[in-house]
Chain A
Amino acid sequence: MAADMRLPVIRKPVSLIVSTDRRDLVVPGDVITSDTGFMRGHGTYVDEEKLTASVAGEVQRVDKLICVRPLKTRFNGEVGDVVVGRITEVQQKRWKVETNSRLDSVLLLSSVNLPGGELRRRSAEDELTMREYLQEGDLISAEVQSVFSDGALSLHTRSLKYGKLGQGVLVQLSPSLIKRQKSHFHNLPCGASIILGNNGFVWLYPTPGQQEEEAGGFYTSHEPVSLSDREVISRLRNCLLALAAHKVLLFDTSVLYCYESSLQHQVKDVLKPEVMEEIVMLTQQKLLEQEG
């Protein structure tokens, strides 16, 4: 097998916009304002009555609230966010889920749909068989139900959309790259489906045939996935990485455009820097055209 080896080169940013000096970028310790009329938001602190940034990023102002949004951060969940996570622990009446946030999220036994319909009562027996539903290492998709005071998230899977994930590929990206949209579940026309978790975890899987109601989200098929599906998924994965490398926001259209642009290359070549660059350029152009 021929290995492709290359020497390290300086990464050139792909930029269509000429870089300008932006005023709204701050670094830790920068004083944002000494006007006391503003409210202190995330990424800021008050030092000697001056509102000071504590992270490097851009300043956002909503009325009187000033926040600094760092460029890169762990996932800060909000109610309603779709997340993809991995079970790390099974505890009494709840699961602990790693969702790329500062603390592991919690999935209460009471917040899942158990097989047998929505109205099923939870018994002590269910507590003992929790591991049969979800065990350590399982991946799930879920929605943020509420946020605890210490910043930990409480999740629920009380919808047929959510639940245990079966065969597919997980791509871990920065949460700031996921564009907030109405829906984060997409059946892409190229023959695969995608869950763009707000926490930066993206799940790629073959589009299922039909929804089985009674599975309650805990059934996973073990049927072999066809080669063509696998190829599509792999290509999608590489496209995601390419987009992430060039910091392009991810949503169904951008992924799709990128997929289309990459079709002229072999799947494995997509990760080559020059190919990556080319594909991303094409994608960005298409996006601009669409907008314009």
Chain B
Amino acid sequence: MAGLELLSDQGYRIDGRKATELRKVQARMGVFAQADGSAYLEQGNTKALAVVYGPHEMRGSRSRTLHDRAVINCQYSMATFSTAERKRRPHGDRKSTEMSLHLKQTFEAAVMTQLYPRSQIDIYVKILQSDGGNYSVCVNAATLAVIDAGIPMRDYVCACTVGFVDETPLADLCYAEEGGGVSSLALALLPRGGQIALLQMDARLHQDHLETLMEAAMTACKGVSKVLDEVVRQHLQEVSVLTGE
């Protein structure tokens, strides 16, 4: 019958969260030894692995070299087993190319690329399990990986999707909610300064609602940043203890 009820009168969503609550975020940094930086992040059931190489000498075509800053090269992919239906996802399909481009734009806004002229930074992200908010999970995982690689950034980049249901913004949509014909918006934020690194929306939404939605998204991003911050500090703590000083 008439679709799912995304938000009950009592203010609970399908999975029991309230409108502004995020899913549970768990993350680990430094999961690979051979990469310069790596991180694994779970946001609810969406799981992503991010790996960073660089900055290093330009590989491949030299012509892309920039003489005043580093080139950021992103690659987004989804594992064949990441969705309910098993599906081979060849590299370079339109969706992942678009997503790669978005990631690139996001990180160009945050990473201090001008410190590394003529070099290249590779960010590879793979979705291991997809349950909504792929873009934001990728951004969050990649942020951790970049920090792990010791690449200077202005601030964390935190991203979150927000949907609009019954005049209420819902933070951090899961797959079931994304599919419910909700206009959703993805926002990547540098939380401390409140600068927006990327804002993406491909559904129709009246301009009157945009502001509330953005505000909700920013609050959600700040929530994400708190969690990431904890993860990073924990990691720092552990590693610096080991180096024993």
Contact = CB atoms under 8 A, between A and B. Distances in A.
Physical contact A–B (CB less than 8 Å): yes
Interface of A: 13-17, 19, 21-22, 25, 27-29, 43, 45, 47, 52, 54-58, 70-74, 88, 96, 98, 102-104, 150-151, 176, 246-249
Given A71-B150, A102-B116, A150-B118, 18 more contacts: A19-B237, A21-B237, A22-B237, A28-B155, A29-B154, A29-B155, A29-B190, A45-B152, A55-B150, A56-B148, A72-B36, A73-B150, A74-B55, A74-B150, A102-B56, A103-B55, A247-B239, A247-B243
Contacts of B148: 56, 72
Nearest to A71: B239
B232 A27 contact: yes
B238 A19 contact: yes
B153 A47 contact: no
B150 A57 contact: yes
Contact of A58 (B192, B193, B240): B240
Contacts of A52: 154
Contacts of A45: 112, 152, 154
Per CB-CB distance, the 3 closest pairs between chain A and chain B, nearest first, are A70-B150, A54-B152, A73-B150
Interface in B107-160: 112, 116-119, 147-156
Contact of B154 (A13, A47, A102): A47
Interface string B20-43: 000000000010000011000000
A33 to B, nearest CB: 16
Given A29-B156, A249-B243, A150 B147 contact: no
Q: Which of A45, A102, A248 has the most CB of B within 10 A?
A: A102
Interface of B: 30, 36-37, 54-57, 112, 116-119, 147-156, 190-193, 229, 232-233, 235-244
Nearest to A70: B150
Contact of A103 (B36, B118, B149, B229): B118
Contacts of B151: 55
Contacts of B150: 55-57, 70-74
A47 B195 CA distance: 13
A98 B152 contact: no
Contacts of A102: 54-57, 116, 119
B233 A25 contact: yes
6 contacts: A19-B237, A47-B154, A56-B148, A71-B236, A103-B56, A247-B244
B154 A28 contact: yes
A56 B241 CA distance: 14
Nearest to A249: B243
Contacts of A47: 154, 193
Contacts of A28: 147, 152-156
Contacts of B36: 72, 74
Contacts of B155: 28-29
B51 to A, nearest CB: 13
Contacts of A151: 116
A270 B187 CA distance: 48
Contacts of B240: 22, 25, 58, 71
A150 B55 CA distance: 13
B236 A27 contact: yes
Q: Which of A14, A52, A72, A249 has the most CB of B within 10 A?
A: A72
Nearest to B191: A29
Contacts of A71: 150, 236, 239-240, 243
A25 B117 CA distance: 28
Contacts of A56: 147-148, 150, 232, 235-236
A16 B54 CA distance: 33
Contacts of B56: 74, 102-103
Contacts of A176: 243
Contacts of B190: 29
Contacts of B55: 74, 102-103
Contacts of A247: 239, 242-244
Nearest to B151: A55
